[in-house]
Chain A
Amino acid sequence: MKHAKTATQNACKLCNPLGACLAFRGIEKCVPFLHGSQGCATYIRRYLISHYKEPIDIASSNFNEETAVFGGSHNLKLGLKNVTQQYMPEVIGIATTCLSETIGDDVKGILREYMKESISRTGEPILIHASTPSYQGSHIDGFHAAVRAAVETLAEKGAPHNLVNLFPNMVSPADLRYLQEILDDFNLPSMILPDYSKTLDGGPWAEYHRIPPGGTPAAAIATSGSAIGSIEFGSTLEAAKSAAGWLESKFGVPRYHLPLPIGIRESDRFFGLLEAISQKPRPEKYDDERRRLVDAYSDGHKYVFDKTAIVYGEEDLVISMTAFLQEIGIRPVLCASGGKSGLMRKKLEALVPDLDGEGIKVRDGVDFADIEDEAALLRPDFLIGNSKGYTMSRKSGIPLIRIGFPIHDRFGGQRHHHLGYRGTLELFDRIVNTVIETRQDDSEIGYTYM
């Protein structure tokens, strides 16, 4: 193995503000706004759009050399004013960049001043601010920071009511729609944050929209302080950094912290929690879904059993995918992430206790050069992760199953399901078919029945 590296080669992570912009896109009538150079907004828009194939406007305070030296207060205020006049947003979600963080702009202070100055104006948007320097953490940290900032800004204490908060983590628009459907089927009034199921996977517009329709309304976020509980997905997401954690400490809203529900066991856990909260049994529809999934597992076991895989991506996704793969008899020989919360191994052990005994290697803070080196030695049957593993897949001839974000070299990434019985079934079908396809392609005879 090579010596420890200093530089990052082919990163397996994106930057902090990208995650914040994505989360802000899931708030209704919200314009994401980056405090820094315009290039950040352009790059991040470009990147998000290549996956979601939907318009994503991100404003910027367009720093120049003077701003970089003397501070960004003037630009930030002017930018907010212009966004307000053009877009008439209800919310502006402001995330910082490495530039504004490096010069140490006091964004909270500037926003306080701005609000004071604009007090006489009507129709002023709510300002949410998340600190997201790209020299810390990765995109997933920005995502959680924005969600937490939204709740901190908007949540109020009210009379307790039957509402459930769901903080789903960075999942696909299809996953968000499914989660909403589940909560509705349990007759649980709910607040899912963020909800970009429509803003990032919508239809044609019969009328002009400055801001794409959809998203969690600010008023709904306000009620999160009086919910009966918050469900929060993501094994490595700590209460101290999370929206549910904040609601629990501030308003005593209980936090139910779960891994992303992938696979039967983790989906059962999620549905079990909903049964407990709603005090109702799981609707029959989901019994059927679960039965179909178990049936598929039994139909497909012969294809997948004893196969090996490398899974990479955000730590929480990797952890839950690993638990699922292990459940269907696939050995995830390497679980890798560019993220580095320091919790990945520990949290994975909670789901798969004997990692070493199972031959599961866990590595955080890695890049694709590391993963590629490992793949050359481990020679797994397939890779599972985002589009960035393509080069490795092409070079090694190991098939890649695309999940998560970003998926920019295949169509429909925003419509993949990953969660619950439905998402697990979809993943299972895709894995089985990849194995079959490989066998078929490798077959010298070219069987039509596999």
Chain B
Amino acid sequence: MEANKTYPDPSAIREELVQKYPAKVAKKRTKSIIINDPEAVPEVQANVRTVPGIITQRGCSYAGCKGVVLGPTRDIVNITHGPIGCSFYSWLTRRNQTKPETDADANFITYCFSTDMQEENIVFGGEKKLKVAIQEAYDLFHPKSIAIFSTCPVGLIGDDVHAAAREMKEKLGDCNVFGFSCEGYRGVSQSAGHHIANNGVFKHMVGRNNEKKEGKFRLNLLGEYNIGGDAFEIERIFKKCGITLVSSFSGNSTVGQLENAHMADLNVIMCHRSINYMGEMMETKYGIPWMKINFVGAESSAKSLRRIAQYFGDEELKARVEEVIAEELPKVKAVIDEIRPRTEGKTAMLFVGGSRAHHYQDLFTELGMTTVAAGYEFAHRDDYEGREVLPGIKIDADSKNIEELKVEADPELYKPRKSEAELEALKAEGLEINGYEGMMKQMMKKSMVVDDISHYESEKLIEIYKPDIFCAGIKEKYVVQKMGVPLKQLHSYDYGGPYTGFEGAVNFYRDIDRMVNNPVWKLIKAPWETAAAEMDGALEATYTEA
């Protein structure tokens, strides 16, 4: 699908984006601003430090660890060890939803615990206060697990959160206490925090419960955080298909599920960036293969279900999946038929996440919209170019500082779910196991790919491309809308959602229709329209100030 607009030469755009920067910065940024070729994917500089003073949308290691990966599990008490800000800012802000089975089941998601470090804790150390805080949380709730998250000063003053956790775990007896060294200055972005979280969950949680859950087709859903109820929709579809969800990492999950995850027979990965480490480690230790799927987009959801059925190789499941798709898709199609005449040919830009900028392109394609530019906030090269580039990625100082767990096959629990031959056969059928092709192969030629786009660059791109919709987060939302371009938040969904699966796709189409065809935009004259108006006085008369 080609957009019904013409654009300047992408190389000229690239020049323009960096010309304001000092020479050294310009040189560095040029490597992250790429003109796409899906046939021969060019290299994108990614996961490198943001230059100081370039306003980035990236967060920190703590945000990735506590906010993203550990935050959604409802029955862990998360204690932020540090001054008050970090815990406050990560207090329910990601809109992870959770649904305890009964009112009596533990749900600590609405709580925000902090050691609220004061100056004396910085000077004399905060471990003692941390231990008291753990005891208090335990006395209050008797949770199964307590996790501790380090903020910036913790590492510097030498507090050992891991030692404190070990001591308290022993003391409490029936509570699994563990810590994370996810100080905000570690690593390049929140991506470092994801990795740290993966390591911690793998070390301290996965493998603690060997009970085999009932069900013929048992899988874990990795990298799905149940924002806006996304996981609920996927759960609904799995249930309908007769697929058993052992554990989700980590939307709508519980400690019990995570501890039992190694008993599943397949890991399916939504957000490759934040959770691929878990897939790899579980494959090595337990012999569970992983597969990249995508439940964003109706067609992608259908495709993902078919892939899951193909993996299990069961005719009954395959038939059931087809039935479900046949039941779900017509409803979706009806809505597309209604909306598409209004969205066809429009353009979108997506600068968000570590997977979302890829996944959501599918929904836009279904609406007949073209993605003219996209990029991630915190992804790595493999998320852009595909995992085949992994061996060639240089390990820099920032990545070196994040622990790589040494994982070996578990002497008792390692059991390859598929033999080498079976895996080869599946591969021959076109089923990619333990692989991800990245975003760029799916994007059109000459589209722009920009990693860690700065505020300044996104404004420039909007000025040049004048997209019909821009997808990012709340930090970009209001500046983009000031220019008369609607911004769809793909972190919080503008408080909407779910957007996954079939029902989610319908929600998304309707939301996008409401945004791009909204009458309010007629009241806002974009800056480029002002320039036109200055040349043509007649236009000025039609302009109404909002």
Q: Which residues of A contact B (CB under 8 A)?
A: 5-11, 13-18, 33, 36-47, 49-50, 53-68, 75-76, 78-83, 85-87, 97-99, 102-103, 133-136, 138, 202-208, 210, 391
Is B61 among interface residues, defined by CB-CB distance under 8 A? yes
A47 to B92, CA, bound (A): 12
Known: A135-B121, A204-B482. A43 touches B89 (CB 8 A): yes
Q: Give the distance to chain B from A74, nearest Cβ to Cβ, in Å.
A: 8
A104 to B55, CA, bound (A): 24
Q: Jot down 22 A-B pairs with beta carbons below 8 A, ordered by A.
A: A7-B115, A9-B111, A10-B91, A16-B85, A38-B56, A38-B184, A39-B60, A39-B62, A43-B85, A49-B478, A55-B478, A55-B479, A63-B152, A64-B397, A82-B54, A87-B456, A136-B119, A138-B84, A205-B482, A205-B483, A205-B527, A208-B463
A14 to B89, CA, bound (A): 8
Is B498 among interface residues, defined by CB-CB distance under 8 A? no
Is B43 among interface residues, defined by CB-CB distance under 8 A? no
Q: Do residues B527 and A203 form an inter-chain contact, with CB atoms below 8 A? A: no
Is B475 among interface residues, defined by CB-CB distance under 8 A? yes
For A43, what are the chain B residues with a Cβ–Cβ distance below 8 Å? Answer: 59-60, 63, 85-86, 89-90
A64 to B183, CA, bound (A): 10
For A10, what are the chain B residues with a Cβ–Cβ distance below 8 Å? Answer: 91, 111-112
For B61, what are the chain A residues with a Cβ–Cβ distance below 8 Å? Answer: 39
Q: Do residues A55 and B136 form an inter-chain contact, with CB atoms below 8 A? A: no
Q: Which residue of B lies closest to A56 (CB)?
A: B475
List the 10 closest pairs (A to B, CB-CB), nearest first.
A39-B60, A15-B85, A82-B53, A79-B53, A79-B52, A55-B479, A7-B133, A43-B89, A37-B184, A8-B116
Instruction: Give the size range of B's interface with the partner.
Output: 35 or more
Q: Do residues B136 and A65 form an inter-chain contact, with CB atoms below 8 A? A: no
Q: Do residues A103 and B117 form an inter-chain contact, with CB atoms below 8 A? A: no
A7 to B155, CA, bound (A): 19
For A6, what are the chain B residues with a Cβ–Cβ distance below 8 Å? Answer: 115, 129, 132-133, 136
Q: Do residues B52 and A75 form an inter-chain contact, with CB atoms below 8 A? A: yes
Q: Do residues A14 and B85 form an inter-chain contact, with CB atoms below 8 A? A: yes
Q: Which residue of B lies closest to A39 (CB)?
A: B60
Q: Do residues A102 and B157 form an inter-chain contact, with CB atoms below 8 A? A: yes
Q: Do residues B118 and A206 form an inter-chain contact, with CB atoms below 8 A? A: no
Interface of A is mostly: mixed
Contact of A97 among B93, B133, B152, B157 (CB under 8 A): B152
Q: Give the distance to chain A from B55, nearest Cβ to Cβ, in Å.
A: 5
Q: Which residues of B contact A (CB under 8 A)?
A: 20-22, 25, 49-63, 79, 82-91, 93, 110-119, 121-122, 129, 132-133, 136-137, 151-153, 155-157, 183-186, 189-190, 397-398, 401, 454-456, 459, 463, 473-479, 482-484, 524-525, 527, 530, 545-546
Q: Do residues B59 and A133 form an inter-chain contact, with CB atoms below 8 A? A: no
Q: Do residues A67 and B116 form an inter-chain contact, with CB atoms below 8 A? A: no
Q: Do residues B185 and A37 form an inter-chain contact, with CB atoms below 8 A? A: yes
For A68, what are the chain B residues with a Cβ–Cβ distance below 8 Å? Answer: 152, 155-156, 183, 185
A323 to B282, CA, bound (A): 61
Q: Do residues B21 and A86 form an inter-chain contact, with CB atoms below 8 A? A: yes
For B476, what are the chain A residues with a Cβ–Cβ distance below 8 Å? Answer: 55
For B62, what are the chain A residues with a Cβ–Cβ distance below 8 Å? Answer: 39
Q: Give the distance to chain B from A62, nearest Cβ to Cβ, in Å.
A: 5
Known: A46-B89, A50-B474, A82-B25. A61 touches B53 (CB 8 A): yes
Known: A85-B20, A134-B83. 7 other contacts (CB 8 A): A37-B60, A39-B60, A42-B57, A57-B55, A98-B153, A204-B524, A207-B527
For A133, what are the chain B residues with a Cβ–Cβ distance below 8 Å? Answer: 83, 119, 122
Contact of B63 among A42, A53, A76, A85 (CB under 8 A): A42
A50 to B185, CA, bound (A): 24
Q: Give the distance to chain A from B187, nearest Cβ to Cβ, in Å.
A: 8
A113 to B422, CA, bound (A): 66
A368 to B122, CA, bound (A): 24
Q: Do residues B83 and A135 form an inter-chain contact, with CB atoms below 8 A? A: yes
For B545, what are the chain A residues with a Cβ–Cβ distance below 8 Å? Answer: 203-204
